[in-house]
Structure 1
Amino acid sequence: MLFFGILSILLAVAFAKDTCYTDVGAACNSLPKPDRELMSNCNAKYGYTKKHHLVDLQSYANANIGISFEFLLMSSYFGNYEDQREGFKKLYRKFSDEMWEDAINTIKYITKRGGTMDFNQSSHFLKPTNVLELNELNSLAKALDRQKQLANEALRIHSTFTQINKEDDAALAHYIEEKFLEPQADRVRDLAGYTNDLKNLLTDDDPSVSIFLFDEYLQKSL
């Protein structure tokens, strides 16, 4: 009987630690002026707890925002009156919108899991580059590099939540797989195909015609 009594006390202490229920009880006991800090566990946080996990997600969201603006600049460049590459303009505007949507979705997921977004968190895996005044082939190469960088970072973040004996978080791992890994595989494959196809076309005697036809193909296929 004594054993069960001690076990009950231990279980009560174990379950009472770091819970919203315990915080609410402490806050109610401090009436009429409850301290909000006493309810620090009444939030949506669960699963991953390390600070660097949140930093990774914040950094990834900011990277998508930055790359979205890069693609927007590239789209504007090819859509000006001098170049008039409507296909390239459409392609890079599409990527810009997709990167922006990925950033918004990441921010929503951070807040859904009880975190906050830090727009000052730098993207450690990206280095600023000049994306203006690129020719058609160079722009495709730059776009491919950017998509690979995002894909590799998504894989790295995913691996931190699926390693044995570490803070596994199946929900976050599934989110990254569904929202990033699969779409990025398609983008990388498409851009790799575009880059090699255009490179092969430029071996013709009149590359301007090849670029024009390739731009027409992009405009109709997207």
Structure 2
Amino acid sequence: MTTNYTYHGRHRAVSHTHTRRNIALVGASTAALAGLGAAPAMANPLDDLRAQVTDGALDAHDSALEQSGQVPEEFRDVYEQGVTDLTNAVAPGALDERAAARAAAEAAAAEQARQDAWNDTTNTPCPATAKACVDLDGRRAWLTDGGNTVYGPVYISSGAPGADTETPRGTFHVTYKVKDEVSREFNDAPMPNSVYFTWSGHAFHQGNPNVDSAGCIHLGGSDSDAFFNQLHEGDEVFIY
């Protein structure tokens, strides 16, 4: 037989039947949780016993909260707070530790999703004719052959903001390469593995990928070796 409850507002006198049912429900949940605090003597190590008590307290907490929908709305907050308080008394810190573990797992999953997106070089504006692709906003570059990525993507830095320093976007071609290049504009600063793609001095070269450049594409040491060895005069470079 199904009993229908009708809510008549917060100012109506509380039904004694509802009150008894609510007290019984809270009492049953409280007894279930409290019983976990009196674990029988066991030969297992103390850490194992604590883990069992903690797991049991968390399970009882979750089970009790699942029943909160059966508690009249005017008592629900008190009921849920009571369940939580009792869990904290039986297994101090367990709820906070579980919440922290879940938050850490969610953060790790989000970071993995970000890394997966960063490593995905499909569905980019880079054409299949390009041999090198550069995503300035994503701070990454990669080498391709017929539209297939053959190296990378790798972390890069590019020109600092400003009309005279920003790396240009568009389609370019490798003009020439210099293995042991230096910058005559910047006091002979070393520019190993330079692969020029404009006649204005823009090039891929070894540099600190964490530092903005004056317009070139900075690559880490081994990455600059790969770009220098695999790119040749006339190869298409696409920067977006």
TM-score, structure 1 as length reference: 0.29
Which protein shows a greater Rg?
Answer: 2
- Identify the structure with the greater strand proportion: 2
Higher relative contact order (CA 8 A, sep 6+): 1
- Identify the structure with the greater helix proportion: 1
